[in-house]
Amino acid sequence: MKQGLLIVLSGPSGVGKGTVLKELMKDESLKLSYSISMTTRKMREGEVNGENYYFVSREEFEKAVDEGKMLEHAEFVGNYYGTPLDEVVKLRKEGRNVILEIEVQGCKQVQEKVPDVLTIFLVPPSMEELEKRIRGRKTEPEEIIQERLAKAEREMKMMDQYKYVICNDDVKLATDIISVIIKRHVEKMNEAE
Ligand code: 5GP
C-alpha cells in the first residue's frame, strides 16, 4: 500500500486552525487522520484527554522526548507540545494522510526529518481580527492573552517557511482551497511512485 501524505497546518493562536481542521476531517475522500499531540498545558473546559490532546506532566513529556518517541516538540507559552512518532508512522503506512496541527518550531523539525511534508500556514484577515478572536475565547487570563498575541506577531514573520499561506477570512473558502491542495499533492505523490 502507498504511504499517506504528511501535512502540517500552522498559524497563530486564534486563527481558526481547529475549525478548518474539523471541516477538512468531514471530507472522507481526503483520507485524513489527525495526529493527537501530547502537551503539558492544562486542559481547557470541554477538552477531552486522548481526543484533543494527551495531557501529561512535564516529567512524562521529557521522558518521551529522551526515549526518542517524538517526531517533533516545542515549548509554547510555557508549556511543551509535541507529536508522538509511532501513531504518525502507523497511520501513514495504512495509507492515511496525516495532518499535524502544530506551531512553527515544530514544523521546522518536521521539514528536516520529512522533506516532502506539505506545509500550510493559515493567516487571519488582520491582526485586529486575530486579537478579537483570541479575546472572544474567554478561557485565559489577560497575561496569557498578551503572551499569545506577542507570539502570534512573531509567528506571522515565519510564514515564508511554509509552502502555502491561506487567509482564513471565510472558513468554507479556506477549507476548499486546502482540500484542493491536499488532493493535488496526493496525486503528485502517486504519479512520482
Ligand atoms: P493551544 O494551547 O492553543 O491548544 O496550542 C498552542 C499552540 O501549540 C498552537 O499553535 C498549536 O498549533 C501548537 N501545537 C499543538 N500541538 C502541537 C504539537 O504537537 N507540536 C507543536 N510543535 N506544536 C503544537
The rounded average pLDDT for each run of 10 residues, N- to C-terminus, in the chain (193 residues) is 93 93 96 97 94 97 98 95 97 97 97 97 95 83 89 93 97 98 94 81
Q: Is ligand 1 within 6 A of the CB of residue 34? A: no
Prediction pTM value: 0.94
Nearest atom in ligand 1 to 17's CA: 12
Helix (H) or strand (E) holding 20: helix 17-26
Interacting residues of 10 by C-beta distance below 8 A, sequence separation 6+: 17, 101, 102, 103, 104, 107, 119, 120, 121, 122, 155, 162
Per-residue pLDDT, 36: 97
Q: Is ligand 1 within 6 A of the CB of residue 80? A: no
Give CA–CA dist 75/88, Å, rounded: 20
Q: Is ligand 1 within 6 A of the CB of residue 178? A: no
Rounded to the nearest whole angstrom, what is the distance from the C-alpha of residue 135 to the centroid of ligand 1? 18
What residue owns the CA closest to ligand 1's atom 24?
Answer: 102
Q: Which CATH architecture has domain 6-192?
A: 3-Layer(aba) Sandwich (3.40)
Per-residue pLDDT, 191: 87
Q: Is ligand 1 within 6 A of the CB of residue 82? A: yes
Q: What is the DSSP string of 129-182?
A: HHHHHHHHT--S-HHHHHHHHHHHHHHHTTGGGSSEEEE-SSHHHHHHHHHHHH
* Grid-cell match 484533543, residue found: 52
Per-residue pLDDT, 4: 96
Per-residue pLDDT, 167: 97
What are the b/e assignments for 131-167, b being 16+ CB within 10 Å?
bebbeeeeebeeeebebbbebbeebbebbeebeeebe
